Structure 1
Amino acid sequence: MTLKKTLFIKGFLLVDRNTRLLLYQRFFNGFLKIYLSDFTKKFLWGIIHFMFNLRCFLDRI
């Protein structure tokens, strides 16, 4: 992992050397806190967990 300076976000991003994928978890959580309401976050959380549980259920069949 390396740190890279970003121009569009204040701070640094962690970059995986092997895949060069940017890890946005820290900034994504900050984005969610600032721009989404509590209802929207709970609604998205419900959809994600419903789809995950449905997938796990269908894998068992």
Structure 2
Amino acid sequence: MKNLIKVERARQNMTQAELADRVKVSRQTINSIESGKFIPSTLLAFKIATVLQVAVDVIFQLEDSDW
């Protein structure tokens, strides 16, 4: 799964720590999601999208290899 969290965070001048604090996870969790090492739960994905004010399907995109 591809994600654009880093791009959206940068657009809003938000650090990993700030995003993590707002969605109630560790900075390391955000880092792991951004680097593709961890796929968030549906609830966490929606929280991240809400904080970044972007639709969840814009932030998280399925790739052909995910099927």
TM tier, shorter chain?
under 0.3
Task: Identify the structure with the greater helix proportion.
Answer: 2
Relative to total residues, which structure has the larger strand share, 1 or 2? 1
TM-score relative to the length of structure 1: 0.24
- TM-score, normalised relative to structure 2: 0.23
Higher RCO (CA-CA < 8 Å; seq separation 6+) = 2
